[in-house]
Amino acid sequence: MDAAIQSKVDLWLKGNYDQATKDEINRLKVENPTELTESFYRNLEFGTGGLRGIMGVGTNRMNKYTIGMATQGYANYLKKSFPGQEVRVAIAHDSRNNSRFFAETTANVFAANGIKVFLFQSLRPTPELSFAIRQLRCQGGVVCTASHNPKEYNGYKAYWDDGGQLVPPHDKNVIKEVEKIASVDEVKWGGGEANISMIGKDIDEAYIAMVKDLSVYPEIIEKQHNLRIVYTPIHGTGIKLVPEVLQRFGFSNVHVVDEQATPDGNFPTVIYPNPEESEAMSIGLKKAKQIDADILLGTDPDADRVGIGVKDKRGEWVLMNGNQTAVLAFNYMIEARKAKGIAQPNDMVVKTIVTTNLIDEIASRNGVKCYNVLTGFKYIAELIKEKEGSEHYVIGGEESYGLMIGDRLRDKDAVSAVALLCEMAAYEKDKGRGLYDKLIELYVQYGFYKESLISLTKKGMNGQKEIADMMSAYRSSPPATINGSPVVELLDYELRNGKNLQTGENWKIELPQSNVLQFVLADGSKISARPSGTEPKIKFYFSVHTRLPNAADFDRVHAELNGRIEGIIKDMKLK
């Protein structure tokens, strides 16, 4: 074992760590030295969103000690940022193994630092934590979740006083404070229990009332209350609020997928508890077929992502991707508000740079301002804060199955999204059609945009280096053509520089720094390369588009666009 790693292991064996932790380290030394090395070869990084990693002993794992040190650093920064004030934080957690323990550990450390803590009495969706921060006038908050990651993972997301995740300068400043905590002996572990208050039903009721206020057409729900809805929480927190919210909206024919209704951190029916994965939605899809449902919806363990299934023009069930769902949701909020007469001249919508440009087109043609921000709802939240008082935020979203409707919270919210997507299905059913028909109509009206995504995972100690080398090569030697079409623009969000590769013209990208590259081709195609901030993987996003003359041409044009994406992937040697 490397000497530096051995030194860390020895420190844990000799230091103020519990006996169970030391016993597990000694077991790994004998039975799995490779795992021991992985557990200690680096410190689990407190990134701009917090912590995320595999649970276990060691500096590179999610455990009581890594969470305690992170919380101590965050507590120190909160107290510096709000001197002379009572600092208040809200804490929530999902259904993952150890999430309650991690949430209580976080609460105890904050409380021991003299901070007033509002701890949810049991698991709750992440968006409710964002709402609670604003509702209780907190300066910060934490939710213990690893979102849609496999069962071995857990995480720790940090929030600021607007209910959004940390953005500059607070993200980097908190990281600096966390990095100053060199030892578990610097953590205040207990003694402030009187500073902890339990919260639950009151916040639930306020949150549900907020979601109900988002409804645009309650009278159509009344007419279509019997809409056949199948919902799966995929063993997560959605079960706490989604069925209740649907009932309050007025839907009377909701079928919860029993096999996935019980919160369970082992996620026994799935490999990845992620509605982006068809496998995670398969049980719900089976039920939807059995009852001839109108719409299927699934949420991830912390209920901030939503996936939907609908019937296509042949009556076959298909799972929508995140771009398609976002297009339908954005269009509904723009179209329905206009039809209802409640649209405002200063309405705005927000999407991320890797989300379909079809949304930009729909917004533009309807006279609604559409902003593009970096990936992550914290940037949508930041823009809302910046535009408060001058522009009216309606909806935001990203391709990775996230939507945020209304500005009463500042993170993606699958609970309100489920309700509004069901209202949208009722709205279309009232016109005698399904959501798939509506999507094709939008393609005919605004252009047929087709998106796809590939994730390449590079595991182990060398994984991050391989990804960094890949990005460096793209920056230094961008391809001249991709799939036979010239690359006309290179957008480098790390350098905040855009360049026309044909004329040599340069311009500044007015967004924060982010390790993302985009290639824009002469035929309008766009390819984005983005390393994950939380996992050893790099994502490639592909977007192509063309005209769709009429609905009858859908299959032909769809195949043409699919072929274009496959050509790009093959040419870039990504498969």
Domains with residue ranges and CATH for the chain: 42-184+194-199 (3.40.120.10), 207-214+224-446 (3.40.120.10), 448-571 (3.30.310)
Q: Where are the alpha helices (DSSP H) in 218-356?
A: 218-223, 242-249, 278-291, 322-340
Catalytic residue among 147, 485, 525, 543: 147
Cα(80)–Cα(26) distance, integer angstroms: 40
List of residues 6+ apart from 282 with CB closer than 8 A = none
pLDDT at res. 1? 78
pLDDT at res. 575? 83
Give the DSSP letter of residue 497: E
452 a catalytic residue:
no
CB-based burial of residue 420 (10 Å sphere; 0-12 exposed, 13-18 middle, 19+ buried)? buried
**Contact by Cβ (8 Å): 215, 406:** no
pLDDT at res. 163? 97
List of residues 6+ apart from 422 with CB closer than 8 A = 227, 229, 246, 249, 251, 295, 297
Residue by residue, pLDDT tens for the chain (575 residues) are 789 999 999 999 999 999 999 999 999 999 999 999 999 999 998 888 899 999 999 999 999 999 999 999 999 999 999 999 999 999 999 999 999 999 999 999 999 999 999 999 999 999 999 999 999 999 999 999 999 899 999 999 999 999 999 998 999 999 999 999 999 999 999 999 999 999 999 999 999 999 999 999 999 999 999 999 999 999 999 999 999 999 999 999 999 999 999 999 999 999 999 999 999 999 999 999 999 999 999 999 999 999 999 999 999 999 999 999 999 999 999 999 999 999 999 999 999 999 999 999 999 999 999 999 999 999 999 999 999 999 999 999 999 999 999 999 999 999 999 999 999 999 999 999 999 999 999 999 999 999 999 999 887 667 888 898 999 999 999 999 999 999 999 999 999 999 999 999 999 999 999 999 999 999 999 999 999 765 678 999 999 999 999 999 999 999 999 999 999 999 999 98
The structure tokens listed for 437 are 């028909």
Residue range 397-433, pLDDT digits in tens: 999 999 999 999 999 999 999 999 999 999 999 999 9
pLDDT at res. 533? 65
Strands, sheet with 88-93, edge to edge from the N-terminal-most edge strand: 50-54, 153-160, 140-144, 88-93, 116-120, 196-199
pLDDT at res. 461? 63
Residue 135's alpha-carbon distances to 107, 406, 410, 456, in angstroms, are: 19, 15, 12, 40
pLDDT at res. 459? 74
The β-bridge relationship of strands 485-492 and 497-500 is antiparallel
End-to-end CA distance of the chain: 35
pLDDT at res. 465? 85
